[in-house]
Structure 1
Amino acid sequence: MTTTTPSRRRRRAPTRIERVAGKAAALQKPRVILAGLLLLALTSVMLLDGYLRAEVGGDQRVRTGASSGKVPDKVLDGGPILTFRGGRATTVSVPDKTIALTFDDGPNPTWTPQVLAILKKYDIPATFFVVGSMVSRYPSIVADMVDAGNEVGIHTFTHVDLSYQSDARVNREMQQTQLALAGAAGITTTLFRAPYSSETDAIDNYSWPVYKKLGEDGYTSVFVDTDSDDWKRPGVSKIVKWATPDDGEGASVLFHDAGGERSQTIKALPKYIERMRAKGYTFTTISGAVQKQEAAAGGQAGGQAQGGPNGQPGGAGAGAGTSNLQAAHRTATGATLYEGKALIGAVAVAEWTVPVLSVGLLVVGVAVMGRFGMMLILARRHYRQRNRRRFSWGSPVSQPVSVIVPAYNEKECIANTLESLARSTHPIEIIVVDDGSTDGTSEIARTAARELGMTNVRVIRQENAGKPAALNNGVRSASHDIVVMMDGDTVFEPDAVRQLVQPFADPAVGAVAGNAKVGNRDTVIGAWQHIEYVMGFNLDRRMYDLLRCMPTIPGAIGAFRREAVLEVGGMSEDTLAEDTDITIAMHRAGWRVVYQEHARAWTEAPGSLKQLWSQRYRWSYGTMQALWKHRKSLTDKGPSGRFGRVGMPLVVIFQIVTPVFAPLIDVFTVYSMIFVDFRAALLAWFAVLAVQLLCAAYAFRLDREKYRYLLMMPLQQLAYRQMMYLVLIHSCITAMTGGRLRWQKLKRTGEVGTPAGAGR
């Protein structure tokens, strides 16, 4: 055993990366905050959009109840307009030969403009009871509606039956709709019609407290005398017939300008107007009908009245007394106006954002499923090619090779690493490069080699310069033409080196990737990483190998032609993913890079979420650095340009772009469960999980792994996958903001021992 030790320790000047790293470290927290704010903004936008679209779709009576003495008889028998003057219920009827034309459930971008055009043609006004969520989505239609002289009332914000809602929910439905009207048309209103209501005699003990409360807040509740039932789509003639009052009576008549397909309503409306005019009827708004009735009664409320003199109802931004009835609209001012405009603006953003995200989801979904399909097909083809009886790399490679073990503070693991190499079935020399360890790694390595009787071990100490420098030192010191590189916390199976070097029988092969296995897989975090490793090595790498564009030789187990390493300038310090960097460089130099699945090494995966985040953050960021460094490979010509033409796009799409946007799948799944169809969304999620389980099971079959670890996969999809997405997003933000990272040493326990043969 030979030992090389520097005669004097000198303090190394920090590299450019390390100098910038100090500044970058101070920026990490703001970047995390920025990522969190972006996620919060996206969540808020989708919640808003879902809330806006969660209204009930059709006119169906969702609750009914019998009347009792709690509802005054004069209200049940009274007119369709209900107020609470002086705290007492008062009803007003529409005067004879008068139609108060009303429309529910709008605005709708298809049908409402057609209704407005008809009203303009016949020069008549109407009262529209609008749904606040629809007002927020189509504010310009409401503005046109008001500008044309029509009246608007509230039909709740989400078209919900208020009968069994809490007071807080009732207030929220009203206030949100008032804000929507303020933002859309600059007004508030005192008119209200409850969803699923009809005539006053249908008021029951459940809905009466709601009308009473709203009346005390200054709202006028509007019911119907005559219902066209146009939502049933019975035909134009029946709609006209059903909307016609009996014997010249006045009526509050109900049509719909939204909530479904309304082509029959559009055809029936002109015929109805012409028919009623021929009968001597005039058209007015709800407020106009009340004003006309009061004028006919000498200023006193007509119809069926239950109370005494006019009171002073408050709330809703309304005035007092009869002016509340004569002029339902109020000009929105102050906070109400600005909050309303803010609501309309937020909805506009949501209306634009969610469709864009939906398209992104479709693209991501197609890419993810396409990737799964491609991996399965190509992995199977790769397996069948490599396991044919006649398959051979060429003449068996039997000459000795150099194994380079870079080590920095690996006291827990280095002895196990050397013990595994002592069992190698292939002749090797071992070069341990101690990169300035402070925990006695080099002494432990010497002692272990001595106790194992290993005479083929050299321990080289160097000033701390980083892993790339340690590997380069090892390559320069290697005695053989083939060098195997491994991590100081990794153990090899006895046959690993022999299997790993066989592809070098092909003179075109410059590097070989081995099969890294997770040794500490009996914890939840370890099991998750075990699934990830098995899928990555047995599907991803097989696919890339078959396409001849392998992106990475893993640091845990990889082999290189020494001349190839020297040709591309050795391990570079330009990136944090020196393994990806040199792999791409070798592709560009014309060397072939292959995968040898039978060469297995066992590594200790991070044991905590914090360490896992740190490791994957460095990996993903380093990969981005390497891809950016070799971006010109996209224009490389000839065989050496294959990675740029095939590998670079695949890595960017599958390892960066798709994972960054993959959280859309989870976000839209939750969105669909809450606002669309819980069962369908859940089934879709299970379908995607089933596809992933199928891919994982096939990868486990190829590697002869035990399927019991797949029981952890559903939990992996709920927790681990989201963490990996956040890591990648964090790395992307770091890259876009110009930050740099330095090598991060993970805490090791040394629990991964030397495997016995190919044991699992």
Structure 2
Amino acid sequence: MADRPSRRSRRPGLGRRVVPPPSWTVFGVLCTVLAGVLLVGAYANASFAPDRQQTQSEQHEVPTEVVTGGPIISSTAGQTRSYRLPPRTIALTFDDGPDPVWTPEVLRVLAAHQVPATFFVVGSQVARHPDLLRELAAGGHELGVHTFTHPDLTALPGWRRRMEYTQTQLAVASAAGVRTSLIRFPYSSYAAAIDDQNWPVFTQAGDLGYLSVLNDTDSRDWALPGVDQIIANVVPLGYSGAVTLWHDAGGDRAQTVAALDRFIPLMKERGYRFVTVTGGLNLALAEAGIDHQVSVGQPAGAGERWRGRMLIWAVQGADRTLGVLGWIFVAVGVLTVGRTVLLLVLAGRHARQRRAKDWAWGPPVTEPVSVIVPAYNEKEGIAAAVRSLAGGDHPGGIEVIVVDDGSTDGTPEIVEALGLPNVRVVRKPNGGKPSALNTGVALARHDLIVMVDGDTVFEPDSVRRLVQPFADPQVGAVAGNVKVGNRDSLIAKWQHIEYVIGFNLDRRLYETLRCMSTVPGAIGAFRRQALEYAGGMTDDTLAEDTDITMAFGRAGWKVVYEETARAWTEAPTTLGQLWKQRYRWSYGTMQAMWKHRRSLLDRGASGRFTRRCLLFLSLFGVLLPLLAPVIDLLALYGLFFLDRTATAVAWLVMLGVQMLTAVVAFRLDREKLGVLWVLPLQQFAYRQLMYLVMIQSVVTALTGGRLGWQKLRRTGLTPTPASAPANSR
């Protein structure tokens, strides 16, 4: 497929309409939406949270009644009050939930002992598990805010803190239909630990109407110290009241559940009662003779519930998107590794067999050969191409037929002016490349047919080497080795690497598996008998070379690869020209796959070939390039929002696999390895272009668009055979 022609068809009966340019606006919108989803996912996973600050500062600005007071703090309108629970009163509080595994376990224990609790929830977890929050509210438990992403609030500006509180309130409003005025800050502990650095967080929360809740005893269950130690940590001194701190999320909470199941009956035996935080506060107020009741569960408005629902959808959508991307990443990795293993094992075995001293296709093939050159406006390279063909060293003789397909640039006159005795020029109205090839085959005098593009230069022995596989009577077509001639520019170097790895190495693999999908138009040989059996070249697809090759395989003919028959072609030198070429290749290949799909259920050689061929084309020719952008997308995402070291290592491993494949391919093709220095750069530009080409091709195919031939500009840079390295066999 490496050499598909760059010509357009003016044939009026084809009924093709040229697809309009891709809508970059739509593509930009899709990219923006995806970026937004990923940013939501990063935010919900606390990727934007700064590192925790653990410095201890002075307590000059913290009121003494706070430092020496209780765990419930009100700091509204410049008035600061601190409250403790009455004796023999315990408020169970749980942080970091809800969690789909451990929150239900905690609820089970609470229900068994018929005690309420206060849950300080993380907004992102509420968005992921709104049903659990509804269950908490329905069970009579109290809710409090524990921020949306669990950051260290002392390291955040005021607007970020407000956003953390507001988004958590919206999630709670949507899930449970209420809003709460209780708040507990991440990494907070006892009242005595409040210092000048974090006191502004309390005062700001108070100005926003929140009641801050700390704790008297800390289970430290996050450290997994054991059930006995957790119980010892939360038992209050003497018979004092206590707000106890537990966790229902953030890791394995089996010890927490077991300790809770023992702690509640233990404290009941000591005469303790269990209350919510506000229940205990109201008891304390009543004992102090204050006729005031605190209520924190106010109904949320319709607007809050709707905004909260949108927030929940955004977080859940981001999680699902990241999950899908993760599975795609695994699939791409499996496909990449699988393809690499197949290439290294089967392509390597193919190369070793061919290089064995006793290897031969059979007796030397000396039959005369007809070379067909379809030409449409090929003035830049036609002279060099025809000279290289006419001067070939095939002992049986070479007949060159140049079929001019309605050129307007003097292409046929250039060929005629060469005055080569074994070259004929045939003129015909423009009808497309398949029509030109069929015309040449009909006029050819010999049964061995070589088809060549008009911009391709053969080495002196290429024709002779190309037809040697016909010594095997089962061989119906032979694919040659296409080389990039103009390797000066960076784009051309990338294509040179792609030709060696993506085309020539693949052909070794596909020959071994008997599922060769493309004999390249730049250098391919055919038996006339096989061509006639397949019905000749057709214009059903834009990939006539893939179409005819698949027809050969279905008919039971062997299609093989002759690496020593080399042809030099000019690769596109601009991204625009490259886009046009690869877009046509990709779309044409999909057309050919669709055309031959019905033979998947055939019996015999047709079905066996089609199942193998379409499987490998679908996996490695369509699916892998279509999904491969996820590698780069997640690598970029990981560098910003995940573990940078792990991300870099994963990306380097993938690059290492590609480099290993490249080295093997270049060694097998006897190419110099020096050019591989551009392979890492290929990951940042060239590969993305190929992604977009494949995406556009798939969209065109799915929407029923039709793509016309697009003539590429040639400069005649293809080298002469004299500049090519000599063959070894």
TM-score by length of 2: 0.93
Change (3 A) 1:13 1:597: closer
SS of structure 1 residue aligned to 2:249: coil
| Number of the residue aligned with 2:5 | none
Deviations 1:316-362 (A, max 9, x none): xxxxxx77xx1222322243211211222233334444434433432
- Which of the residues 268, 276, 296 maps onto 2:287? 296
Q: CA deviation at 1:575?
A: 0.3
The answer to whether structure 1 residue 596 and structure 2 residue 589 are counterparts is no
Q: CA deviation at 1:604?
A: 1.0
Distance 2:77 2:33 in 1: 46
| Number of the residue aligned with 2:359 | 391
Deviates more, 1:360-369 or 1:129-138: 360-369
| Number of the residue aligned with 2:403 | 433
The answer to whether structure 1 residue 52 and structure 2 residue 60 are counterparts is no
Distance 2:177 2:415 in 1: 80
| Number of the residue aligned with 2:3 | none
Deviations 1:91-144 (A, max 9, x none): 222223222221111111111112112222333221111111111111111111
| Number of the residue aligned with 1:317 | none
Query: Retained in 2: the 8 A contact 1:54–1:676?
Result: no
Q: CA deviation at 1:198?
A: 0.4
Q: Letter of the 2:636 partner, please give it.
A: V
Distance 1:572 1:643 in 2: 20
Q: Letter of the 1:442 partner, please give it.
A: P
Q: Letter of the 2:479 partner, please give it.
A: A
1:318-357 to 2 correspondence within 5 Å?
A: 326-357=294-325
| Number of the residue aligned with 2:415 | 445
SS of structure 2 residue aligned to 1:601: strand
Query: Retained in 1: the 8 A contact 2:434–2:544?
Result: yes
| Number of the residue aligned with 1:14 | 12
| Number of the residue aligned with 1:212 | 203
Q: CA deviation at 1:189?
A: 1.8
Distance 2:77 2:323 in 1: 49
Q: Letter of the 2:22 partner, please give it.
A: K
Q: CA deviation at 1:35?
A: 5.2
- Which of the residues 477, 480, 485 maps onto 2:446? 480
The answer to whether structure 1 residue 29 and structure 2 residue 16 are counterparts is no
The answer to whether structure 1 residue 282 and structure 2 residue 250 are counterparts is no
- Which of the residues 63, 66, 74 maps onto 1:72? 63
SS of structure 2 residue aligned to 1:15: helix
Q: Letter of the 1:126 partner, please give it.
A: A
Deviates more, 1:359-368 or 1:526-535: 359-368
SS of structure 1 residue aligned to 2:95: strand
Q: CA deviation at 1:193?
A: 0.9
Query: Retained in 2: the 8 A contact 1:538–1:702?
Result: no
Change (3 A) 1:12 1:235: closer
- Which of the residues 250, 264, 273 maps onto 2:264? 273
Distance 1:642 1:236 in 2: 63
| Number of the residue aligned with 1:116 | 107
| Number of the residue aligned with 1:718 | 684
Distance 2:254 2:178 in 1: 30
Q: Letter of the 1:69 partner, please give it.
A: H
SS of structure 1 residue aligned to 2:408: coil
Q: CA deviation at 1:422?
A: 4.0
| Number of the residue aligned with 2:537 | 571
Query: Retained in 2: the 8 A contact 1:67–1:202?
Result: no
Deviations 1:376-407 (A, max 9, x none): 11111111111222222222222331221112
Q: Letter of the 2:12 partner, please give it.
A: P
Q: Letter of the 1:520 partner, please give it.
A: N
Change (3 A) 1:283 1:743: same
The answer to whether structure 1 residue 626 and structure 2 residue 618 are counterparts is no
Distance 1:742 1:55 in 2: 47
| Number of the residue aligned with 2:349 | 381
Change (3 A) 1:521 1:330: farther
| Number of the residue aligned with 1:424 | 392
SS of structure 2 residue aligned to 1:459: strand
Change (3 A) 1:235 1:390: closer
| Number of the residue aligned with 2:507 | 541
The answer to whether structure 1 residue 63 and structure 2 residue 54 are counterparts is yes
Q: Letter of the 2:587 partner, please give it.
A: Y
SS of structure 2 residue aligned to 1:445: helix
The answer to whether structure 1 residue 165 and structure 2 residue 176 are counterparts is no
Distance 2:271 2:374 in 1: 99
Q: CA deviation at 1:688?
A: 1.6
Q: CA deviation at 1:44?
A: 4.1
SS of structure 2 residue aligned to 1:515: strand
Q: Letter of the 2:403 partner, please give it.
A: V
Q: Letter of the 1:101 partner, please give it.
A: L
| Number of the residue aligned with 1:249 | 240
Q: Letter of the 2:14 partner, please give it.
A: R
1:358-377 to 2 correspondence within 5 Å?
A: 358-377=326-345
Query: Retained in 1: the 8 A contact 2:220–2:230?
Result: yes
Q: Letter of the 1:430 partner, please give it.
A: V
| Number of the residue aligned with 1:506 | 472
Q: Letter of the 1:369 partner, please give it.
A: V
| Number of the residue aligned with 1:8 | none
Deviations 1:286-319 (A, max 9, x none): 222222222333337xxxxxxxxxxxxxxxxxxx
Distance 1:702 1:85 in 2: 77
- Which of the residues 714, 720, 724 maps onto 1:754? 720
| Number of the residue aligned with 1:406 | 374
SS of structure 1 residue aligned to 2:119: strand
Q: CA deviation at 1:185?
A: 1.4
Deviations 1:635-694 (A, max 9, x none): 333334431232221222111122222223333333444444221221121112111111
Q: CA deviation at 1:12?
A: 6.7
1:194-205 to 2 correspondence within 5 Å?
A: 194-205=185-196
SS of structure 2 residue aligned to 1:102: strand
Distance 1:207 1:65 in 2: 10
Q: CA deviation at 1:38?
A: 4.9
SS of structure 1 residue aligned to 2:497: helix
Q: CA deviation at 1:540?
A: 0.5
Q: CA deviation at 1:467?
A: 1.2
Q: CA deviation at 1:72?
A: 2.3
Q: Letter of the 2:401 partner, please give it.
A: I
Aligned residues: 715
The answer to whether structure 1 residue 150 and structure 2 residue 141 are counterparts is yes
Q: Letter of the 2:553 partner, please give it.
A: H
Distance 2:606 2:102 in 1: 61
Change (3 A) 1:586 1:574: same
Query: Retained in 2: the 8 A contact 1:56–1:159?
Result: no
Deviates more, 1:511-520 or 1:747-756: 747-756
Distance 2:48 2:414 in 1: 72
Distance 2:335 2:150 in 1: 38
| Number of the residue aligned with 1:314 | none
- Where in structure 2 are there 5+ consecutive unaligned residues? 1-8
Distance 2:391 2:102 in 1: 80
Change (3 A) 1:596 1:351: same
Deviations 1:174-198 (A, max 9, x none): 2221222122212222211111110
Q: CA deviation at 1:236?
A: 2.3
1:736-751 to 2 correspondence within 5 Å?
A: 736-751=702-717
Distance 2:281 2:358 in 1: 96
Distance 2:215 2:271 in 1: 21
Distance 2:617 2:327 in 1: 22
SS of structure 2 residue aligned to 1:83: strand
Deviations 1:678-722 (A, max 9, x none): 212211211121111111101111111111111111111232222
